[in-house]
Amino acid sequence: MSVESEVSLDGKKLMIAVKGRFDFGSHQAFRDAYERFYKVPELYVVDLKEATYMDSSALGMLLLLRDHAGGDNAEVQVINSNSDVRKILAISNFDKLFDIS
């Protein structure tokens, strides 16, 4: 498990990449990934290309990020989710809160 984050040059986009198992073990690392930036980006992108698994506490972490990013006004994209992860997002109907692709 690892979480890496990077802000675009113009400071408007924060990219968070989660690798391996996305579960409670990545809680602190995931929070640090967006809390450590002083400037508030306009768009948050969670890249799950290399995430192999996701549990309900990971869903909770996405909700925390959404809350941090402004709740109902937040723009959070979840990209590159594999079929297993996509299934979990679908069962929870998280597409109603996040832009999932």
Partner 1 sequence: MSALAPVLEPLTILIAEDSAADLLLLSTIVRRQGHQVLTATNGAEAVEVFTRERPQLVLMDALMPVMDGFEAARRIKQLAGEELVPLIFLTSLRESEALAQCLDAGGDDFLPKPYNQLILAAKINAMDRLRRLQATVLQQRDLIAKHHDYLLHEQRVAKAVFDKVAHSGCINAAPNIRYLQSPYALFNGDLLLAAYTPSGDMHVLLGDFTGHGLPAAVGAMPLAEVFYGMTAKGYGLAQTLREMNAKLKRILPVDMFCCATLLCLSTQRRVVEVWSGGMPEGYVHEIATGKRTPLESRHLPLGVLSAEAFDDRTEVWPMALGDRVFLLSDGVLDTADANDQLFGAERLQQVFAANREPDRLFEDIEQALAAFRGEVRDDVSMVEITLQPGQQLRASGPLYADSGQSCPLDWSVSFEFRAETLKRYNPLPYLLQLLLEIHGLREQSGALYSVMAELYSNALEHGVLGLDSRLKCDAQGFAEYYRQRNDRLAQLNSGYIRVHVQVVPVGAGGKITLRIEDSGLGFDVEQVLARPLDMDRLSGRGLSLVRQLSSDVGWSDGGRSVCVEFCWEALA
Q: Name the site residues for partner 1 (rule: CB under 8 A).
A: 24, 53, 55-57, 59-61, 63-64, 67, 72, 84, 91-94, 96-97
What's the one-letter identity of residue 22?
Answer: F
- Return the number of the residue (7 or 21) whose C-beta is nearest partner 1: 21
Number of H helices, E strands in the chain: 3, 6
- Return the number of the residue (7 or 63) whose C-beta is nearest partner 1: 63
Residue ranges in the chain assigned as alpha helix (H):
27-35, 56-68, 83-91
CB of 59 to partner 1, least distance (A): 7
CB of 43 to partner 1, least distance (A): 20
CB of 10 to partner 1, least distance (A): 29
CA separation (Å) from 44 to 58, 84, 91? 16, 22, 22
- Among all chains, which residue has been given the structure tokens 């990219």? 15
- Return the number of the residue (7 or 27) whose C-beta is nearest partner 1: 27
